Amino acid sequence: MSTPVQQVSNHVIKKFLWGLVAVVGACAIGGIALQRGESINAMWIVVAAICVYSLGFRFYSAWIAARVLSVDPARATPATRLNNGRDFVPTHRWIVFGHHFAAIAGPGPLVGPTLAAQFGYLPGTLWILVGAVLGGCVQDMVILFLSTRRNGRSLGQMARDELGPVGGYAAIAGTLMIMVILIAVLGLVVVNAMKHSPWATATVAATIPIAILMGFYLRNIRPGRVLEGSLIGVALLLFGVFGGGWIDGHPLLRTWFDLDGPALARCVIAYGFIAAVLPVWVLLAPRDYLSTFLKLGVVVLLAIAVILMQPDLKMPAVTQFVDGTGPIFGGKMFPFLFITIACGAISGFHALISSGTTPKLISTEADIRMVGYGSMVLESSVAVIAMIAATLLDPGVFFAINSAPGFVGATADAAVTTITNWGFPVTAEQMHALAKEMGEATLFGRTGGAPSLAVGMASIFASVTGQGLLALWYHFAIMFEAVFILTTIDAGTRVGRFMVQDALGHLWKRAGETSWYPSVLLSSALAVAGWGYFLYIGVIDPNGGINILWPLFGIANQLLAGIALSVATGILVKQGRLRFAWVTGAPLAWLAIVTTTATWQKVVSPDVRIGFFAAADQLAEKLAAGTLSAQQAAVAPQLIFNQRLDAAIILILTTLLWIVIADMVRTCWRVANDLPVLPTSEVVVPPASNLTSTMESG
Amino acid sequence: MRARLRSLWQLVRELSTDAAYERYLAHHAARHSESTPLNRRDFYLREQQRKWSGVNRCC
């Protein structure tokens, strides 16, 4: 037992230590922001991130839990009250943390920061840190809390219960749209990484039979032994990386895997359809185990490697592209930085997980802080690592890999001249040597972020293991990114299929049956057609497609975050916590400003790299004047239609957001004027199951 | 030390869902002892079906 004197001195020491964390963090951020030399060491960013996350978790999340949400650790959670040994199971907090993190962490935080690195490392890093601590982590934690208090109701259900049917339908429509665009853009990222790369294509293709083999193992040979099955699977995947290299060296075999963009897009579309209709144990479940193991392993390895090697960042803190002329995507830093980096700062998609499986596992409300806020802190640190991996490349090399040929020039000489003229020197020989080291024919114009991230990861890993392994590490990184992108494609298509079936079920009851095969095939085909269309258009677009699809995805994701934050704000106000409503209201306001500005610019901007209509009109004029090549003219009508369709989608998305915000404001206004509102949907816990609570508080 | 390692191993088994079947058996014995529990394979298949019936993976 400690004496009162010891307690006081412990208290003082703790205060002092946290003060130290604050000072070190402030110095690191100051150092990063004021650094204007040739390069800066990545450790500055690592230290700043650790300090910001620690302070946010220790103080802000604790304050929100205690004051804003009034978390009650003694209150019986749905997991304990409704324990059925299946989905409602009281679970240890580290295990819930693991499951929740595995669910929220996808390829988003790797791709977004890589694309946003065109502005320099500073703007993206600051947004990741601030956005996560004040926005994303808060959203995840508050939604997890609200759903736990409502027996694990989903975001859409909570929106309907608390705000009204309008909010509920908007949430469901938003979810479906984001799913379609997300899968299309991720498909495009994989296609661009595999295009004309026999090694990458063969390695990624090998993951499919490996997953099926593992599926049979887990079902027939050793049922449910996930650990050993996954170890075998991961070993086979690593073998697949070697095997891909061997195929690449074989004169005949390599031609089988040397595919162009449209062919690969058709493969991904066919794969998505097959994965959605097969039973989950065949492909989806084993692939997900593999991708989760790889993801954890690679993130840990990468973090260790960054801390061991302490690489210098060669990208400037801020580039001239903040003015909107960036090669990767057009548009100024405000608002486009804030929609390019969604996952890693704030991601609306997480609200679906926080109101899905996770609240049914929480054994005490005291764990909500760690699971909700803590998991997002970890996810955000993945985004910081991706930013480091992207900016440690020579900026000239980074832009050569990530710029579409339609923008910098179709030949190597044209591209290096353009990029060198921007002030980022790079030569065709340098790019050729790099491609050779990585075991690729070319690295020019490999848009989408995955290849440049793989080059960054390979150089970090190879600096530990020796340069001779660069090509292996590169293809390992590509395989790693592809594996969990394909998992998202599988899982997303399946969710899309269920949503389509649900909607069809309203028209014709039989179509809603999830085990009736004609309906399964039809609804899967519809879901795949939705994202397959956008993927195909992205592949044939000479400007790379990413520059159109990624902002669309960012806006859709932020829209979902806006809906989640509206629901949270509305509930806080209904519960008489108006003075704390800014906790979710401020991030909501910021997202509303960002998405609305971005939508406005995407629709009305006369700059053809930003405005959808401007681009469509320009292409239509060129087509009419006959100045396009035969190849360009063949795809022009599709591209023109697509640009106009994108404008319509983005307008619908933003309108949905404002409808939900208006619904929330209406509810708040009624509360303020003592008018009746929908009753709270919070579950009343019977006193019997809440015994410890009354004991402690009474 | 030994106990630590064991609890770490248990954590890994729980995280990988390896331990899910034992937990199910324990729950079944406690609450539904009148009926026969599913075997390991059927339990695994039912759990996969349930797990992948909603939004389970993010971007």
How is B1-33 classified by DSSP, letter by letter?
-HHHHHHHHHHHHHHTTTTHHHHHHHHHHHH-T
Q: What is the b/e burial string over A152-189, where b = at least 16 CB atoms within 10 angstroms of the residue's CB?
A: bbbbbbbbbbbbbebbbbbbbbbbbbbbbbbbbbbbbb
Q: For the segment A1-29, what is each residue's pLDDT rounded down to a tens digit?
A: 567 778 888 899 999 999 999 999 999 99
User: Is B12 near chain A, with CB under 8 Å?
Assistant: yes
Q: Is the pLDDT of residue A670 over 60?
A: yes
Return the sign of the alpha-carbon dihedral for residues A232, A234, A237, A241: negative
Say if the Cβ atoms of A91 and B14 lie within 8 Å.
yes
Looking at residue A693, its pLDDT comes to 40
Q: Is the pLDDT of residue A691 over 50?
A: no
Name chain A contacts of B18, Cβ cutoff 8 Å. Answer: 224-227
The pLDDT of A650-654, averaged and rounded, is: 94
- What values do phi and psi take at A413, rounded to 5? -65, -45
Longest dimension (CA), chain B: 43
Per-residue confidence band for A688, with pLDDT thresholds at 50, 70 and 90 = low
Q: Which residue of B has its CA nearest to A279?
A: B49
Looking at residue A334, its pLDDT comes to 96
Residue A424 C-alpha, separation from nearest chain B C-alpha, in angstroms: 32
Dist CA A474 CA A485 (whole Å):
17
Say if the Cβ atoms of A224 and B59 lie within 8 Å.
no
Per-residue confidence band for A284, with pLDDT thresholds at 50, 70 and 90 = very high
Q: Are A329 and A551 in contact (CB under 8 A)?
A: yes
H/E stretch holding A157 reads helix A155-162
Return the residue matching tokens 């819930």: A96
Looking at residue A697, its pLDDT comes to 35
The runs of H, that is alpha helices, within A250-372 are 253-256, 261-277, 284-309, 333-340, 349-354, 368
Q: For the segment A373-385, what is each residue's pLDDT rounded down to a tens digit?
A: 999 999 999 999 9
Residue B57 C-alpha, separation from nearest chain A C-alpha, in angstroms: 5
Q: Is the pLDDT of residue A569 over 80?
A: yes
Q: Are A446 and A171 in contact (CB under 8 A)?
A: no
Looking at residue B31, its pLDDT comes to 86
The CATH number, out of the four listed (3.40.50.2000, 3.50.50.60, 1.20.1300.10, 1.20.1740.10), of the domain defined by the range A17-196+259-683: 1.20.1740.10
Residue spans of the domains in chain B: they are: 2-51
Who has greater pLDDT, A117 or A38? Answer: A117
Looking at residue B42, its pLDDT comes to 94
Per mean pLDDT, which range of A32-36, A416-420, A446-450, A642-646 is the poorest? A32-36
Name chain B contacts of A91, Cβ cutoff 8 Å. Answer: 14
Q: For the segment A602-648, what is each residue's pLDDT rounded down to a tens digit?
A: 999 999 999 999 999 999 999 999 999 898 899 999 999 999 999 99
Looking at residue A116, its pLDDT comes to 97
Strand-pairing partners, residue A40, are A313
- What values do phi and psi take at A312, rounded to 5? -90, 140
Per-residue confidence band for A696, with pLDDT thresholds at 50, 70 and 90 = very low
Would you state the structure tokens that stand for residue A120, as one six-digit string? 């320099």
Looking at residue A686, its pLDDT comes to 75
Looking at residue A355, its pLDDT comes to 95
Looking at residue A689, its pLDDT comes to 56
What ipTM does the predicted assembly reach? Answer: 0.94
Return the sign of the alpha-carbon dihedral for residues A53, A591, A549, A322: negative
Q: Which among A227, A284, A349 is the nearest to B59, CB-wise?
A: A349
Looking at residue A433, its pLDDT comes to 96
Per-residue confidence band for A698, with pLDDT thresholds at 50, 70 and 90 = very low
Residues contacting residue A689 through CB under 8 Å, at least 6 positions apart: A76, A80, A81
Percent of chain A with pLDDT over 90: 83
The pLDDT of A654-678, averaged and rounded, is: 95
Q: Is the pLDDT of residue A690 over 60?
A: no
Residue B1 C-alpha, separation from nearest chain A C-alpha, in angstroms: 20
Q: Which residue of A has its CA nearest to B10?
A: A95
Instruction: Provide the mean pLDDT of chain A.
Output: 92
Q: Which among A83, A84, A280 is the nearest to B48, CB-wise?
A: A280
Q: For the segment B3-12, what is each residue's pLDDT rounded down to a tens digit?
A: 999 999 998 9
Residues in chain B, pLDDT under 50: none
Say if the Cβ atoms of B59 and A223 lie within 8 Å.
no
Q: Which residue of A has its CA nearest to B24?
A: A85
The pLDDT of A521-530, averaged and rounded, is: 95
Would you state the structure tokens that stand for residue A253, as one six-digit string? 């075999």
Q: For the segment A459-479, what is each residue's pLDDT rounded down to a tens digit?
A: 999 988 888 899 999 999 999
Highest mean pLDDT among A2-6, A32-36, A93-97, A682-686: A93-97
Q: For the segment A270-279, what is each residue's pLDDT rounded down to a tens digit?
A: 999 999 899 9
Give, in order, the Cα–Cα distances in Å from A33 to each of A40, A119, A120, B53. 11, 14, 11, 46
Would you state the structure tokens that stand for residue A586, as one six-digit string? 């401020």
Q: Nearest-CA neighbor of A315 among A430, A399, A408?
A: A399
Dist CA A459 CA A47 (whole Å):
22
- What values do phi and psi take at A313, rounded to 5? -90, 125
Looking at residue B53, its pLDDT comes to 85
Say if the Cβ atoms of B56 and A498 lie within 8 Å.
no
Q: Which residue of A has its CA nearest to B44?
A: A224
Q: Is the pLDDT of residue A176 over 90?
A: no
